[in-house]
Structure 1
Amino acid sequence: MSAPVRVLVCDDQALIRTGFATIIGAQPDLEVVGECGDGRAAVDLARRLDPDIVVMDVRMPVLDGIGATRLLAGAGVQRPVKVLVVTTFNLDEYVYEALRAGASGFLLKDAPPAQLLHGIRTVAAGAALLAPEVTRKLVGRYAARIRPAEDTPDGIPLTPRELEVLRLIADGLSNSEIAATLVLSHETVKTYVSRILTKLDLRDRVQAVVYAYRRGLAT
């Protein structure tokens, strides 16, 4: 059997933190390695405990979840940690800034336990949790609002076909859906996605979606 996914839970509300830890710890493939109540403690614990994923709240004392995510998973971090942001605040700027800071997914706290567990497993496996249509719309609307006027597709180091694939990723299509749309094999699409992430120095599909909106490739 493979080792369980190591999870660090960070939330400033003890009741919610304990609830998450109880739900997660009851799963045979997941293990809670630590709990904390602020972003600074999350950064310190993550560096010491080396979890596979951090379940991160947004509004917390000392250091908020966005700042903590940036320190754990942002650009330039030598050993990035996967972060799943879980918050009560369904606001455009929280979604966008969390993903831009390096989070691999975003869930609301009123999501059912099964969705939380699915999100943890999805992010831990290296995928991005951007499936809910509402999240995709929020990211698109907010990114479009703050995109710099000079940020245009010019100068993007992608081939026309790679740009096409990136636009479809930003539209929320899976690899299978992209393959069907472009009449390509699933393996070919996987290769394109891998090339796009490498060329743009992006970690996952979530960052690819944010990049596409920031560069005016999606609306």
Structure 2
Amino acid sequence: MNSASMHPSDTNVGMMLVISAPSGTGKSTLIRRLTTEFNAFTFSVSCTTRAPRPGEVDGREYHFLTREEFLRRREEKYFAEWAEVHGNLYGTPRQTTMDLLALGRDVIFDIDVQGARQIKSNMGQGCYVFVFPPSRDALEKRLTGRGTDSEETIIRRLAAARHEIADSQWFDHWVINDELDSAYQELRAIYLAEKTRPAYRASWQAALSRQWGVS
């Protein structure tokens, strides 16, 4: 068999990797390591109704919309997920995500549980990973140790974590971030294993048909 025609680099359908975790669990650090190691990843540029901050460019950091335009698009099912945060609306364009996947780009989402549920409902595909803190006490120490949150905010984040953990059963994979390197190796393994699914290797189907007469 010609190995070149059946090489993993021929994979031409992207996957969605959706990662959720309570605030302070270290999710962003894990995602940063994953996207640094694998250059197939991209982030979809979200839409928002908040005003641009100094230095931000429309279409780069966000697509900046009026509230009226955002709500119109929401009614047209334009978003894969959306949420209101501190009075501003945020949403991920569905078609843009589909276009990136069609180009073979892997789209990664760093998102809360509510947003992850919306994506699964609206997109009907993807790999969903929930990252746990090692314990409630460990999470409280991490939040306190950051020195950026008030006691009231920490209490609120711990309460939110309880609800998120209670809603974690439907995720495809669980990772406990007790030790960062070990947690990263688990997340990395999940990503690599998911990429072996036939759905992400459409170009292999043509090669199988040519070489073996199967489809």
Which TM-score band (shorter chain)?
A: 0.3 to 0.5
Structure (1/2) with the larger strand percentage? 2
**Structure having the higher Rg:** 2
Q: Which has the higher contact order (CA 8 A, sep 6+)?
A: 2
